[in-house]
Amino acid sequence: MMRRFLAFLFCVILTPAVLAHPAPDGFADLAERLSPAVVNISAAQRLDSGNGLPEFPEGSPLERFNDIFGDAPRIANSLGSGFIIDPEGLVVTNNHVIDGADEVEVSLPDGRVFAADVVGIDPVTDLAVLRMQVNEPLPSVAFGDSDTARVGDWVIAIGNPFGLGGTLTAGVVSARGREAGGRYDDYIQTDVAINTGNSGGPLFNMSGDVIGVNTLILSPTGASVGISLSIPSNIATRVVDQLIEFGETRRGWLGVSVHRVTAELAESFELDTPHGAIVSRVEEGGPADAAGLRQGDLVLRFDGRRVRDSQSFPRMVAESEIGREVEIEIIRRDRPMTLDITIGELEEEGGAGAPEDEDNDGVVDPTPGNGNTILGMTLGVLDAPARRRYRVDPDAVGVLVTEVDPASDAAGKIRPGDVVEEVEFTRVETVADIREIVSGHGGGPIRFQINRGGQYVLQSIRP
């Protein structure tokens, strides 16, 4: 009897928490309230007829068609979605929807069509802002806080798939922090059906706030298979505000490249979990160089915030106020340090150097080493012929890796052509130097500083 009573009491206590966010009965009220602010985007690009259409030769039976088609420009059209964020006619959409367009039209659900001017674009995040030429206030929606979206929350998308305007689809947040190869990716993943034409449309939460901009899908077929990605509103709002104010984006810059902290590196730095970012390159004359940041520094906190990984760190820097001085907490050769760095401005066209995880995919012919193998790495002399063969960075000084045993822990971490410059933060110039440090290591992963084509890479290898 007592067991039954406790089971009943347990259910009574937990029931309110379980039912705190019940599944909605439907989305009709949200659709009625939000749909008027979701628009269809039509972008037209005029193509040069002289390069596009064939010209029939003189005397040909088809010569007369030259007069018909010769001066007629071809029009390339694209369709997408967008949403009004200001009653005066400001519209947010994807950059790829209007990229290269000469004319842009915005169609409202009530049938009205307005010409639109491009206020600004940001190809990096694939966002664009348009301004409709209107004479009266229009329905609008507002951005919400995407950080509040949790995996499992209900969300809806309204858009223009395949030209079918006003289409609502629903689902849940499937994951957060997804990447798709972009510099500042931090997508919200959902199972909401998104198809061609949905690009640029809003992702709503159950309060009717825009928490994402639908931008792409992952699919082997090109159609929705339940993996849709949206730009979080907390990224979109910063970009949109800058496009409205400046007509372009202005991002913070330090002049560094970074790479990720592996589980082995985290262990070697005595971190509880892998987090932070390893500095792989410092651009000469940049803000990081001026502040004293060095290759191999492990960045743990930036402006008081924990650095989650090497992907989030560039976003944190980019979102920082230009000209502001911030504190950055690092570990340098196992010693904690704090540096003050003044945020510079990123020049988008010039970039900030090679990406932190850039691979050197050039094929080189393997050269046998001198028989010295340590931890699965065959090591050789870094002489002039070896530098030419492996395209070694001219500033690299150390011991050349010529082969890597695929069964060793070094496989996938070290490559032929890498130059070992330091082991456990001690400079090495010969194989004997490396062997002495490895043999005297007390156990656990051993850290190798690698020069890979001028990029600094820190790897931990287990004996």
Active-site positions read: 96, 126, 199
Q: Which residues contact 214 (CB under 8 A, 6 or more apart)?
A: 81, 157, 159, 192, 194, 198, 199, 200, 201, 202, 203, 228, 229, 230
On whether the CB atoms of residues 399 and 436 are closer than 8 A, the answer is: no
What is the rounded CA–CA span in Å between residue 216 and residue 125?
A: 12
Per the listing, tokens 């402006």 go with 303
Structure tokens at 42: 């039509």
Measured distance CA(453)–CA(451) in Å, rounded: 6
| DSSP letter string, 91-122 | EEE-HHHHTT-SEEEEE-TTS-EEEEEEEEEE
Under 8 Å between Cβ of 191 and 203:
no
Who contacts 288 (Cβ-Cβ below 8 Å, separation ≥6)? 254, 255, 256, 279, 282, 341
| Secondary structure of residue 204 in the 3-state scheme | strand
Angle (CA) 213-219-223 rounded to 5° is 80
Residues 194 and 214 sit within 8 Å (Cβ to Cβ): yes
As to burial, measured by CB atoms within 10 angstroms (0-12 exposed, 13-18 middle, 19+ buried), residue 121 is: buried
CB hemisphere CA count around 191 (13 angstroms)? 7
Tell me how far apart the alpha carbons of residues 448 and 430 are, in angstroms, rounded to a whole number: 14
C-alpha 258/C-alpha 260 separation (Å) is 7
Q: Burial of 55 by CB count in 10 Å (0-12 exposed, 13-18 middle, 19+ buried)?
A: middle
Question: Measured between alpha carbons, how far is 380 from 227 in angstroms, rounded to an integer?
Answer: 47
Alpha-carbon span 18 to 214, nearest angstrom? 30
Per the listing, tokens 């937990």 go with 14
Say which residue the tokens 């009717």 belong to.
Answer: 208
> What distances in angstroms separate CA 33 from CA 107, 110, 225, one per listed residue?
18, 14, 28
